[in-house]
Amino acid sequence: MSARWWWGTYPEAGLGTPTGLGEGLWGMVPGGSESSLALTIPAPSFVIAHPDLPLVYVVTEQEKSTVACIDVADPAEPAIVDEVVTGGSGACHVLLARDTLTLYVSHYTSGEVAVVPLTADGRLAVTAPIQLLPGSGSGLVPRRQEGPHAHFAGYSPSGSTLLVADLGTDELRRYEVLVDGSLRADGVAAGLPPGSGPRHFAVRGELVYVLCELDHTLKTLSWDEDSRTATLVSTLPSTPVPLRSGDGIYDAHIVVVNDVVLASVRGCDVISVFDLDSQGLPLYRSGFDSGGEHPRHFAVLGERLVVGNEKSHLVSLFDLADVLALEPGGDPTEPARLPHTDAKVLSPACVCSI
């Protein structure tokens, strides 16, 4: 099988517009500038690849969300081999369990986490989720926190606990992972300051780095395995760069690579670079132009940093070495500009490689 980068996309007019208008799964040759729509599917806003099999899992961010298993063994003709309705609305993230036998689907609109078992050959093992676990509560920002909004699921530093970033309730929800992959709701691992809006997080050592969409901060939490709770130890602005496009600032995605934290901030249209000190605490270094408008998702793929600029319908490819070597700028409100190449992808939302 030839390697591909697979992009899930929103409708051309963007998130919140009617789905099923030609968006779907786009394929790219790694490092190339050519891309094309390979499979039509409504708003596949998050995509992940199986580590060992030619399978990609996608969630559709629509009112009646689904999760699909796509066979990409023939990159020219990817095919949906299984699809189930998740039971929630606005699915925005899917996590593959470390043993590759379960999918965990987060729903932004309705707030639940769905549990979908897989077979040993990576196929969906059920015709409906075995669990649909709701959130509860609300937050300080009426328009965005009127109820729970599960946005991202990931493992705690120890790997024994599943944490869900709930943008609507300013919490990291906690779930015990049982032997069969099912979950037992276990309260709240961390409550963040009101109005934070935790969106995505990354883990390194015993620290959890949380990117907060509503108060535009990077928060560092220290994990305690005995109590399975996380304590806030550091808060930094996600970027000093002001609004440069669109109607607002929306922090998006976070990645830890080597001793550096990278974070995308839409509206400011930058990737922020934070160095980690000897204790693992982040220190802002600089930010660079994302190559377009509304950088939603990005990933380190080989020697490249690949950024999806949703509203300018561009994928920008940077050399990772250039990103990691970025020098602090003179004016922190002016993002640096790094050399990059672009590929046309309509409303890129998320990328994986297989």
Ranges of H-type helices in the chain: 320-324
Q: Please, which residues bridge with residue 68 across strands?
A: 58, 83
Q: pLDDT tens digits, residue range 313-323?
A: 999 999 999 99
- Lowest-pLDDT range, 9-23, 86-100, 139-153, 252-266? 9-23
Is 157's pLDDT higher than 90? yes
Looking at residue 13, its pLDDT comes to 82
Looking at residue 21, its pLDDT comes to 81
Predicted TM-score of the model (pTM): 0.97
Q: pLDDT tens digits, residue range 261-320?
A: 999 999 999 999 999 999 999 999 999 999 999 999 999 999 999 999 999 999 999 999
Q: What domains are defined for the chain?
A: 255-354 (2.40.128)
Structure tokens at 227: 């109590």
Instruction: Give the C-alpha separation, 37 to 314, whole Å.
Output: 14
Looking at residue 112, its pLDDT comes to 98
Instruction: Give the C-alpha separation, 319 to 301, whole Å.
Output: 10
Looking at residue 22, its pLDDT comes to 80
Looking at residue 54, its pLDDT comes to 98
Instruction: Give the C-alpha separation, 219 to 9, whole Å.
Output: 28
Looking at residue 329, its pLDDT comes to 79
DSSP string across 122-136: S-B--SS-SEEE---
Q: pLDDT tens digits, residue range 325-352?
A: 999 978 999 999 999 999 999 999 999 9
Q: Please, which residues bridge with residue 183 across strands?
A: 177
Looking at residue 1, its pLDDT comes to 62
Structure tokens at 56: 């990609």
Q: Please, which residues bridge with residue 203 across strands?
A: 208
Q: Please, which residues bridge with residue 114 across strands?
A: 105, 132
Q: pLDDT tens digits, residue range 50-104?
A: 999 999 999 999 999 999 999 999 999 999 999 999 999 999 999 999 999 999 9
Across the range 42-47, mean pLDDT stands at: 97
Instruction: Give the C-alpha separation, 278 to 3, whole Å.
Output: 37
Q: pLDDT tens digits, residue range 208-222?
A: 999 999 999 999 999
Across the range 142-156, mean pLDDT stands at: 97
Is 138's pLDDT higher than 90? yes
Find, among 14, 47, 9, the residue nearest to 26 by Cα.
9
Which residues are CB-contacts of 167 (< 8 A; sequence separation ≥ 6)? Answer: 108, 144, 145, 149, 150, 151, 197, 198, 199, 213, 214
Instruction: Give the C-alpha separation, 149 to 131, whole Å.
Output: 17
Which residues are CB-contacts of 335 (< 8 A; sequence separation ≥ 6)? Answer: 241, 268, 269, 270, 287, 288, 289, 329
Q: pLDDT tens digits, residue range 159-210?
A: 989 999 999 999 999 999 999 999 999 999 999 999 999 999 999 999 999 9
